[in-house]
Structure 1
């Protein structure tokens, strides 16, 4: 069959994970849009009718690169919700492990090459971030086995992160407030701050 390309089945017609995938995408969209708001209007001055009112400043503002790239990272990650877990996996077609997922997302969305393992990402991926200062796009790290850092995900906002959980699992969003993630949380890094 020349001329035909087999397309990967990222979105099967009906699967048990489909409702969760849409829920995850919806949660990411809400988290990203929560920061969107119109600029406050300047107060209207009360004065004589002949006095001109000041005009609002409509000049375009320079974009904030960190915010734009974190949106790209979140959108890339959201598109992979439901992708199956595969130990050593680093591509959507074959599946991801946790660090393969974060490496692929940052490379595709922001052009940032992260180290391949969770432990290396913890050491080399930007400045340390306190848990109470997390921002969307930060990497969050966990120690689940008492052998050092062994899991990583991407913070999406509102106390949630997206990750490739474990064998038999699929890329999904979880809450940092769940007891397992509270106990095993080890720290966070901001790879987007380390890049121009």
Structure 2
């Protein structure tokens, strides 16, 4: 009997042959059609961008080559989003996200990511745009992975930010030597990644420098601001880096990923902001 490990290695070699050619990337939703979610994050209606209304869409299927953990973001250290068993068939909505992930549907319809090396793909089939559910091509808050996750500016920001996952929260901290508080972490990451140059400031200062954007227009790499997380005269009291799929990367306790969908963060949410770059 051939072991699962050997099957996975064989499958990776097969995938290298099957996946040659053009890479496809699409804007994707947080949830897929057929699930209970019919509105965007926070209850806002989904809006179909006019540019996407007439575009055909290429859809693939994939077969898992081994048992594998799904991730909620296309990153190895992102939160888990479920498990897939060897031989399971999945609908694939984008390939080569970050160069090595495919976007699939997890249990319950939530978007998830599987290593490309663990999935054997069929050739794409074309589905007419006239038959598409708007959820599939929504390009605002609920659609981001392909183009955004392969954006060089965002990848530089994320690469720097991930270096400090696990560092403790330290009030007033602003360097790796001292560790960080929320604004110190964001300021350091912006400067060291080369994405944006800023003096050390607090969450309110970062908000004041940002252009406020609507929730449905937010994309990975934007900043997300919260209010009332501690006693201060400032309106904005916490800042994080938005990474998509309802997650942020921030100086929690410790620094790491956090879900914006918890009751606490939903109650304290203030705004999304974007720094001109």
**TM-score range normalised by the length of the shorter chain:** 0.5 to 0.7
Give the 5 Å matches for 1:80-95. 80-95=164-179
Aligned equivalent of 1:149: 236
Tell me how far 1:136 sits from its aligned partner: 0.9
Give the 5 Å matches for 1:29-68. 32=98, 33=101, 67-68=151-152
Cα distance between partner residues in 2 of 1:183 and 1:114: 29
TM-score after normalising by structure 2: 0.46
Kept after mapping to 1: 8 A contact 2:182/2:251: yes
Are positions 1:74 and 2:158 aligned together?
yes
CA distance 1:111–1:132, shift in 2 (3 Å):
closer
How many residues were matched structurally? 146
Listed as ranges, the gaps of 5+ residues in structure 2 are: 1-74, 82-96, 104-112, 117-122, 127-146
TM-score after normalising by structure 1: 0.63
Structure exhibiting the larger radius of gyration computed from Cα positions: 1
RMSD: 3.2
SS of residue matched to 2:254: coil
CA distance 1:41–1:189, shift in 2 (3 Å):
same
Are positions 1:113 and 2:197 aligned together?
yes
Cα distance between partner residues in 1 of 2:189 and 2:237: 18
Q: Which has the higher strand share?
A: 2
Tell me how far 1:157 sits from its aligned partner: 1.1
Are positions 1:186 and 2:270 aligned together?
yes
Cα distance between partner residues in 1 of 2:202 and 2:171: 11
Tell me how far 1:41 sits from its aligned partner: 7.8
Kept after mapping to 2: 8 A contact 1:106/1:112: yes
Higher RCO (CA 8 Å, separation ≥ 6 residues): 1
SS of residue matched to 1:156: strand
Aligned equivalent of 2:246: 159
Aligned equivalent of 2:106: none
Tell me how far 1:107 sits from its aligned partner: 0.4
Tell me how far 1:129 sits from its aligned partner: 1.7
Residue by residue, what CA displacement relative to the aligned partner does 1:58-104 show, whole Å, maximum 9, x if unpaired?
A: xxxxx99x921111111111121001111111111211000000000
Cα distance between partner residues in 1 of 2:102 and 2:198: 28
Listed as ranges, the gaps of 5+ residues in structure 1 are: 1-23, 44-62
